[in-house]
Structure 1
Amino acid sequence: MTVSDRDRLHSQLSRLEDMFPGYLTEIVEGSIVMNPVRPVHGKSIQRLWSIVEDQLPPGWALVSDVAFPFDDANEFCPDLAVIPAEAEAENRSEYSPDLIEFVAEVVSPSSIRRDYEVKPRWYASRGIANYLVLDPLKGHCVTMWNPGPDGYRGRDTIPYGADLTVDSSLGKLTVATAGLPVDPKVRDQS
């Protein structure tokens, strides 16, 4: 796929998002995927953003829902990614995945397989050292580290309520999970 083909496809995806407000659009395994964004999803991203932003060393910035093309069939829009502040200041709609230092996704009912199986392989293959999955459907987070060509070799699951410390190249990032929102269906089962 040429740069102009990718630009044209990205432009088409942007129009789709404009036509369907409240949906996040990505290209995953060659398919255009649209996910409805729910309040719990948005709140999870906002709270994680606040927690991580205060701990970032100088020279790093957060982005959310911008495109990172991995190849012709996979263009992800992470819920949260840490990239160099210099790149973020360019205010682009698309960045190289090689810029990502830390990435996080929030699970929604339609993204379970993508967030737990597909994206970890791609993120790890690019050497992204830390991948964090917030799962408001189960009330836990999963931290993945030690990237390899087939995925992450380290993985821990932490129930919401405990503090999670991610030892990253950005320093130790502590996520207080007690304040993260949980899907109402999970609360109802408690």
Structure 2
Amino acid sequence: MDTPDGFKAELIRGKIVVSPFSALRYLRPMRALRKQIEAHAPKGHFAETSPFLFSFPTAERAYGPDLFVADEASFGEEGRHADGAALSLVAEFTSLSTKDADWNEKLDVYGRLVPVYLVVDMQDSEITCFWDPSPHGYRSRTTVSFSEPLHVPEPFDFAIDTTGF
């Protein structure tokens, strides 16, 4: 799907949702987070902020995360949707237009499959790490304010420095 300049599209509950790209002030925390995560990514996985869609067939949804870590081998296929099972981490940076989906719909879908989900709440200046997915959603979570370190569990096992967020 071709979107207007400055917008991205995601498939949420069978509907195409078009939202604007992130505000300029999001670049520094996104870049800092990507660099830190990339240094600790599992072997064969890479961290990226490029706009790619990941499908979750059991939930009939596809999301284009703000930042993701995925198995590089999953990008050798034809098509426009990567398999959500290739993800080892997803991070969403909240905005007024996406905050509800980041905290609810995406949390529910990611919580059944993706090992680590980070919600970078730009409005409340906090970052939350969810981990230990199950058929009922994530079993564990930790929230810290920006400027405090946040531990990211296996398969990453390191602390994010959030002072620049």
Which category of TM-score, normalised to the shorter sequence, fits these structures? 0.7 to 0.9
Matched, 1:70 2:88: no
Contact 1:133 1:142 in 2 (8 A): yes
- The farther-off stretch of 65-74 and 84-93 is 84-93
- What is residue 157 of structure 2 aligned with on the other side? 172
- What is residue 59 of structure 1 aligned with on the other side? 44
Offset, 1:159: 0.3
Q: 2:14 aligns with which of 17, 30, 40?
A: 30
Matched, 1:109 2:96: yes
- The farther-off stretch of 33-42 and 158-167 is 33-42
Distance 2:77 2:55 in 1: 17
Could you give the per-residue CA deviations for residues 44-80 of structure 1, whole angstroms, max 9, x where no partner exists? 3222111111222432212332011113841101111
Mark the structure with the bigger radius of gyration. 1
Offset, 1:90: 6.0
Distance 1:52 1:26 in 2: 24
For structure 2, the 5+ residue unaligned runs are: none
Matched, 1:134 2:120: yes
* Number of aligned positions between the proteins: 162
Normalised by the length of structure 2, the TM-score is 0.87
Contact 2:149 2:162 in 1 (8 A): yes
Matched, 1:49 2:34: yes
Distance 1:166 1:91 in 2: 32
Q: Quote the RMSD (CA, aligned, Å).
A: 2.0
- What is residue 185 of structure 1 aligned with on the other side? none
Contact 2:11 2:17 in 1 (8 A): yes
Contact 1:61 1:88 in 2 (8 A): no
Bigger share in helix: 1
Offset, 1:89: 6.0
- What is residue 138 of structure 2 aligned with on the other side? 152
Distance 1:55 1:91 in 2: 28
Contact 2:54 2:82 in 1 (8 A): yes
CA 1:91–1:28: 2 relative to 1, 3 Å? same
CA 1:120–1:35: 2 relative to 1, 3 Å? same
For structure 1, the 5+ residue unaligned runs are: 1-12, 181-190
- Aligned partner of residue 125 in structure 1, secondary structure: coil
